Structure 1
Amino acid sequence: MSLPTDAPAHPVAPRDAATVLLLRDTDAGVEVFLQRRVAAMAFAAGMTVFPGGGVDQRDADASVSWEGPPPQEWADRFGCSEPVARALVCAAVRETFEESGVLLAGSGTELVTDTSPYDGARAELVSRELSLAGFLAREGLTLRADLLRPWANWLTPEQEPRRYDARFFLAALPEGQQADGRTTEAESSDWQLPADAIADAEAGRSMLMPPTWFLLDELNAYPSVAEALAVRKPVEKVMPRMVVEGDEVRVEVP
């Protein structure tokens, strides 16, 4: 009989995190940008993941130039406070730029189409020499929250030593921009059809965490990026549970 592993008396407090499912249309269907994390990473080593990471304290800076749904609207969708919602959206934009080179920002009514002028700032963001608010102010840019869509919320099981309360966003690759793999956190990066990414995992060519697998499977339902972005679904917190069966431990998703 399967029994849940014992939850610790004092589970590690989860850290807020933001992850972005970056999408583009192709003749074969919707592709998503994926990265295989390096084996030396403390969390999700060797796993194939979407760009994203933990929220930085400075991501909650209220001075960020902002366009799109206000923080309170994001707070309502994710079921969190307004400061946390602001930080999550800012972290989503920052992490996407740091890890893929895609910048969800603009100047006036124009979106950024060429990110090469900001290569130096990208490195400063990665090293934490520069905050997102400082970067945007210095370059005269505005964060474009309207380019993001709230999509999912997954919480790491209580038994894990590193836990994240991860909110997932959808975003389309802005016209003119290119996603790259210039990050020390990934050994490789590529665009894939969700079904192909799942097939790679099933064949043992890659490894997917439960949220990644589940969300890739969800994307299979949408024939275009526009149709995926048009979806407004409730964002409910999902926490998988760890189950021990003999000498093996598996993860079950509610």
Structure 2
Amino acid sequence: MSETAPQSPVAPHPAATLILLRDGADGLELLVIERHAGLRFAPGATVFPGGRLEAADHHPLWRACWPKGEPPADLAHRVAALRECVEECGMLPTRDPLSSSALADLRRGMAAGEGFAAALARVGVAPALDRMAVLARWMTPEMLPRRFDTLFFLAPAPEGQEPVCDGGEAVGVLWASPRRLLAEEEAGRRRLVFATRMTLLRLAGCADTTAAMASGAMASGALASAAVSGQGLPAPILPRLVETAAGPVFRIPAGCGFLPLETSAQTVRLG
């Protein structure tokens, strides 16, 4: 009897996510969106704005937007994270203050099919690509049919801008503390995918934006030392399904900066 050869994992799509930070009455708050219930990936989930990299995110012209020195290897990911943030929740960290009318003009142009770079140039805005800190690189487990290889960035929220839900992929947007979002998931009022939940657990220990950005800066240094050879990107955190005496768990590598290292598979949402 012949045996069926195991299928190779689906190649993950490069992606980027932006976590905007601000200081609220109860401490650190993060900007999150609620995804449309009809989407194929993570329907109805509460996530950070983000999405796949596009060909235009790799264009050489973005190198000119880096203020000085050699741009980082993750430049295209930074561009994608900012672009997705504008598209999904109407906010954009910039090097200089951005008026609400200019931001609205930028969004209208992008919604009409104008490229991100062209819209920025027309409005006369320089994106704050250098004011983002890498927190982690998460990769979707190998058994899933839709996979993403995502860089998670932190950035202070731009002053004077208010989030605006796009009404497409995102049907809700709000500021909330990590502890509140985790408590709402525990109560069954919110859906969190695994990487989002682990990120909230990590940031729940940060008192304010300064502490969170410092955490990101420390992570960036540690991740840089563990960069994937030839890519210049940090090594990914790849959760693996493991059978234990207590039942199946998703396990992440020790020393990756996130805890717990093992989470019961029964409580994990992957998409």
Could you say which TM-score interval applies, normalised by the shorter chain?
Answer: 0.7 to 0.9
Which consecutive residues of structure 1, in runs of 5 or more, have no partner in the other structure? 1-6, 76-84
CA distance in 2, matches of 1:71, 1:8: 43
Corresponding position of 1:61: 59
CA distance in 1, matches of 2:6, 2:79: 32
CA distance in 1, matches of 2:171, 2:252: 28
CA distance in 1, matches of 2:70, 2:149: 18
1:162 aligns with 2:146: yes
> For residues 142 and 240 of structure 1, do their structure 2 counterparts lie closer, same or farther at Cα, with a shift above 3 Å needed?
same
Corresponding position of 2:50: 52
CA distance in 2, matches of 1:29, 1:105: 24
Counterpart among 81, 94, 97 of residue 105 in structure 1: 94
1:87 aligns with 2:71: no
Q: Is the 8 A contact 1:59 1:131 kept in 2?
A: no
Corresponding position of 2:158: 174
Q: How many residues align?
A: 231
Q: CA deviation at 1:70?
A: 5.6
Q: How does 1:211-222 map to 2 (within 5 A)?
A: 211-222=195-206
Q: CA deviation at 1:126?
A: 4.5
CA distance in 1, matches of 2:150, 2:199: 13
> For residues 226 and 8 of structure 1, do their structure 2 counterparts lie closer, same or farther at Cα, with a shift above 3 Å needed?
farther
SS in 2 for 1:141: coil
> For residues 8 and 44 of structure 1, do their structure 2 counterparts lie closer, same or farther at Cα, with a shift above 3 Å needed?
farther
Q: Is the 8 A contact 1:61 1:133 kept in 2?
A: no
Corresponding position of 2:41: 43
Corresponding position of 2:241: 242
CA distance in 2, matches of 1:137, 1:216: 35
> For residues 199 and 222 of structure 1, do their structure 2 counterparts lie closer, same or farther at Cα, with a shift above 3 Å needed?
same
CA distance in 2, matches of 1:141, 1:46: 33
Greater strand content? 1
Deviation track 1:12-53 (CA, whole Å, cap 9, x = no partner) reads: 111110101111101210011111111111111111100111
Corresponding position of 1:33: 31
CA distance in 1, matches of 2:10, 2:31: 30
CA distance in 1, matches of 2:135, 2:153: 5
CA distance in 2, matches of 1:95, 1:152: 18
What percent of counterpart residues are identical?
35
Q: Is the 8 A contact 2:105 2:123 kept in 1?
A: no
Q: CA deviation at 1:71?
A: 6.0
Q: How does 1:98-137 map to 2 (within 5 A)?
A: 98-106=87-95, 110-112=96-98, 114-126=99-111, 129-137=113-121
> For residues 117 and 156 of structure 1, do their structure 2 counterparts lie closer, same or farther at Cα, with a shift above 3 Å needed?
same
Deviation track 1:135-183 (CA, whole Å, cap 9, x = no partner) reads: 1222222121122111110001111111110000001111111122234
> For residues 43 and 17 of structure 1, do their structure 2 counterparts lie closer, same or farther at Cα, with a shift above 3 Å needed?
same
CA distance in 1, matches of 2:176, 2:158: 17
Normalised by the length of structure 2, the TM-score is: 0.78
SS in 2 for 1:142: coil
CA distance in 2, matches of 1:51, 1:230: 21
Q: CA deviation at 1:249?
A: 7.5
State the Cα RMSD in Å: 2.3
Q: Is the 8 A contact 1:68 1:146 kept in 2?
A: yes
1:96 aligns with 2:85: yes
